[in-house]
Amino acid sequence: MHFLAVGLNHKTAPVEVREKLAFSGEKLASALNRILDLEQLTEAVILSTCNRTEVYVLCQGPAQEGLAQLKQFLQSFVDANIQVDKYLYTLIDLEVVHHLFRVVSSLDSMILGEAQILGQVKTAFHFALEHNTISTHLTKLFRQAIEVGKRIRTETEIGESAVSISYAAVELARKIFGELTGRTVLIIGAGEMSELAVKTLAAHGVSSVLVANRTFRRAQELAQAFNGRAVDYERLTENLALADIIISSTGAPHAVLTQDMVKKAMQLRRNRPLFLIDIAVPRDIEESIHHLDNVYLYNIDDLQNVVEANLAKREAQVGKAEIIIAEEVERFGQWWSARQMVPVIKALKSYGHNIKEQELARLFNKLPNLSERERECIASATNLMINKLLHSPVVSLKQLACDNRHDGQFYASLIERLFNLNLAAESETQVGRRVASPGPEEV
């Protein structure tokens, strides 16, 4: 029995390949069912985001055979002239565990520390649960992965600090104003980056949005998107006085806001703090205005410097996150090793008690005159003998399983060969082609 994973991501495959292997809705449900129709694959989860597609399975047969089936499965979704194999990475057993724990912790993300991946892993897990394509093993893996993602976000600062221009603007605004609730933002121009910055500010409490643009219709359209109000571009000084945060991105060849305009606006607002973000190139705002009291001016380079400094802070947390992941992989490995021992211990006990029953039957046939009491005493003695004989190897197997330095699969195979056990039959009693969803006690 093996955990297997096959996948590709933004580091291994271009978008034109990734988009072919994006799964959602009915396509995702169909793909999961197709995987379980493959030989010896009994549990499946597909994690599909804009930056990665990864297939996680439990395989009852040889690992390399299972991986080959998964590669062929993924190849079936792309054009024949695209050899998907060269974009794929493959993982087996604890490699799968370590990789998933890094993924859910955002250590493998395009943006280190991003929060979306934890929710995406949860979504993939719950989709598989709802469609009955996982049972005990992948349920245990994904539940622990989600715990790991939460633990790393709680115990490290890997998700702290802004790492995008729009979030850097929010971070700086909070330093100036504290909470942003009740604040007003004025957009000058209608650039995509300024629109994104306003969207982020609005999500963090800014309650009023004003839009000034040379084309009043465009100002109205943008204002409507934020439940805001279009204002007269020709009356910028008056409108500056109404806002706490200014975002300017006009594309004009000259300064749109001068020191004199801002000075007058500050008089109208009684010198209350004013935060200006200039994300235009060439710049929209005269640099000299930062000499004015209570006026805070940041341009695109300033924001980028904030982002780079914050990325460095996040990268400094990677070591802490890796230590947590190593601990969690070891913990999962102990469970996994013990889980592999369950069928061999059951088969070994069954083997011993079958021999006992056969020999007792033979003995009782030879001694038909034994009383019922004598038969019970002999049966009890032989039962005790078998239990004592098996006790030491069973305890040793459990100890080996709990010690992650040892390979549970190796010892399970060794016992199977030594005693000629039929573990395949034992496995069939535990794993069906469509396994039922696990109960709490199974995980």
Is 199 in contact with 172 (CB distance < 8 Å)?
Answer: no
Residues 399 and 269 in one domain: no
Residues 151 and 132 in one domain: yes
pTM here?
0.72
Residues 174 and 156 in one domain: no
- Using alpha carbons, select from 182, 231, 173, 244 the residue that is nearest to residue 207: 182
59 is a catalytic site residue: no
Residues 117 and 213 in one domain: no
* End residue of a domain, out of 281, 296, 324: 324
- Give me the CATH number covering residue 36: 3.30.460.30
Residues 288 and 320 in one domain: no
Identify whether 194 is part of a domain.
yes
Residues 142 and 187 in one domain: no
For residue 201, what are the CA distances in angstroms to 5, 173, 244, 304, 388? 39, 9, 12, 17, 71
- Give me the CATH number covering residue 270: 3.40.50.720
Burial 168-191 (b: 16+ CB within 10 A, else e): bbbbbbeeebeebeebbbbbbbbb
The domain of 297 spans 165-304
Residues 156 and 170 in one domain: no
Calpha distance 308→331 (Å, rounded): 35
Residues 134 and 47 in one domain: yes
Determine if residue 420 is left, alpha or beta; phi over 0 gives left, psi from -120 to 50 gives alpha, anything else beta: left
Tens of each residue's pLDDT in the chain, 443 residues: 899 999 999 999 999 899 999 999 999 999 999 999 998 999 999 999 989 999 999 999 999 999 999 999 999 998 888 899 999 999 999 999 999 999 999 999 988 998 889 999 999 999 999 999 999 999 999 999 999 999 999 999 998 877 777 788 888 888 999 889 999 999 998 767 778 888 888 888 888 999 999 999 989 988 888 899 999 999 999 999 999 999 998 888 889 999 999 999 999 999 999 999 998 888 899 999 989 999 999 998 988 898 898 899 999 999 999 999 999 999 998 888 877 777 788 888 888 888 899 999 999 999 999 999 999 999 999 999 989 988 888 887 777 766 655 566 677 777 778 888 766 555 544 444 445 555 544 43
Residues 201 and 336 in one domain: no
Calpha distance 422→348 (Å, rounded): 9
Identify whether 66 is part of a domain.
yes
Identify whether 362 is part of a domain.
yes
* End residue of a domain, out of 324, 356, 374: 324
Residues 102 and 157 in one domain: yes
Residues 348 and 290 in one domain: no
Any residues with CB less than 8 A from the CB of 16 and at least 6 apart, and which? none
* End residue of a domain, out of 291, 324, 357: 324
Residues 387 and 282 in one domain: no
Q: Which residue has the tokens 């359209």?
A: 221
Identify whether 309 is part of a domain.
no
Say how many domains are in the chain: 3
> Which one from 50, 59, 377, 402 is the annotated catalytic residue?
50
